[in-house]
């Protein structure tokens, strides 16, 4: 992979990382606000549908599980940025094969080739 390609992927990774970081903190805020209102026993300020605690709990857990997968993606983006610095970006972390550009275009933070990814949960 040449330097121009590396730089293009690096820019995409940086944009993705910025977007994910923004989303993660917004979602964390929302989840924590819900938590505080409930802890105080202050349900009066919540919309009526939020008073159904079963639904509220479900929504909060769903939000938190989304955040976990975003944290995981962020970790992979960081690893990919390190690989760009090392000059190993685009090489499969498992078998060393070149990861096809079509795959990197779809998932710029992919660190495994398709074959290795299919044998691993890491994608
Ligand atoms: Zn591989």
Q: What is the pLDDT of residues 105-117, one digit of tens each?
A: 999 999 999 999 8
Distance from Cα 108 to the centre of ligand 1, integer Å: 15
Q: What's the CA gap between 62 and 14, in Å, rounded?
A: 26
- 84 C-beta neighbours (distance < 10 Å), count: 16
* pTM score of the predicted model: 0.63
Please say if the pLDDT value at position 47 is more than 70.
no
Distance from Cα 99 to the centre of ligand 1, integer Å: 8
Mean predicted confidence (pLDDT) in 58-82: 80
Q: Which residues, listed in sequence order, are joined to residue 98 by a DSSP beta bridge?
A: 91
Distance from Cα 5 to the centre of ligand 1, integer Å: 20
Distance from Cα 104 to the centre of ligand 1, integer Å: 13
- 56 C-beta neighbours (distance < 10 Å), count: 18
Q: What is the separation of C-alpha 21 from the centre of its chain, rounded to a whole number of angstroms?
A: 8
Please say if the pLDDT value at position 2 is more than 70.
yes
Residues in the chain: 123
Please say if the pLDDT value at position 69 is more than 90.
no
Work out the pLDDT band at 1, boundaries 50, 70, 90.
Answer: confident
Distance from Cα 77 to the centre of ligand 1, integer Å: 18
pLDDT at residue number 122: 47
User: Hey, what are 81's tokens?
Assistant: 């940025």
Please say if the pLDDT value at position 66 is more than 90.
no
Distance from Cα 21 to the centre of ligand 1, integer Å: 29
Distance from Cα 74 to the centre of ligand 1, integer Å: 21
């Amino acid at each position: 992979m040449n330097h121009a390609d590396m730089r293009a992927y690096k820019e995409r990774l940086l944009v993705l990382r910025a977007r994910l970081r923004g989303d993660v903190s917004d979602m964390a805020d929302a989840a924590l606000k819900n938590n505080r209102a409930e802890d105080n026993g202050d349900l009066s300020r919540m919309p009526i549908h939020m008073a159904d605690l079963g639904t509220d709990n479900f929504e909060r857990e769903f939000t938190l599980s989304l955040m976990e997968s975003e944290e995981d993606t962020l970790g992979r983006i960081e690893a990919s940025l390190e690989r760009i610095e090392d000059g190993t970006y685009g090489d499969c972390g498992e078998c060393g094969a070149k990861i096809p550009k079509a795959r990197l275009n779809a998932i710029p933070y992919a660190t495994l080739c398709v074959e290795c990814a299919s044998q691993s949960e890491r994608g």
